[in-house]
């Protein structure tokens, strides 16, 4: 199950997120989203967990909790929507 993690501190690293989520079950991947030009964090990430029940436990436990001096948002990731922007 793919989980969205928002309001992250800009210095949070993927290993820190992995450690926080592994307390609830097996984490298959962690990806902090970065700006393609600067390489700096955009303040959100996606964590993928193998087991849906464990993912829900992590969401319930971590949503709104303080992580690196910020209250993070944790919920089920939604599929990216196609938009009509033209480049």
CATH of the domain at 60: 3.30.70.330
Q: Which domain holds residue 12?
A: 2-76
Is 22 within a domain?
A: yes
| Mean pLDDT value of segment 20-48 | 97
Flag whether 81 is in a domain.
Answer: no
pLDDT at 85 over 90: no
Residue 87 resides in a domain? no
The two three-digit tokens of residue 23, written as one number: 């307390």
What percentage of the chain exceeds 90 in pLDDT? Answer: 89
Identify the pLDDT of residue 16.
97
Instruction: Tell me the C-alpha distance between 53 and 79, whole Å.
Output: 20
| Residue 6 falls inside a structural domain | yes
Burial 25-56 (b: 16+ CB within 10 A, else e): bebeebebeeeeeeeebebebebbbeeeebbb
Number of domains in the chain: 1
- Give pLDDT, residue 79: 80
Inter-CA distances, 27 with 7, 19, 40, 51, 70, Å: 20, 9, 23, 9, 22
Q: Is residue 84 part of a domain?
A: no
């Amino acid at each position: 199950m793919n989980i969205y993690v928002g309001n992250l501190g800009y210095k949070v690293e993927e290993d820190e997120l992995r450690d926080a989520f592994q307390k609830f079950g097996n984490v298959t991947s962690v990806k902090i989203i970065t700006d393609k030009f600067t390489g700096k964090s955009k303040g959100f990430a996606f964590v993928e967990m193998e087991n849906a029940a464990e993912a829900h436990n992590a969401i319930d436990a971590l949503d709104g909790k303080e992580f690196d001096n910020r209250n993070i948002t944790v919920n089920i990731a939604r599929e990216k929507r196609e938009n009509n922007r033209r480049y």
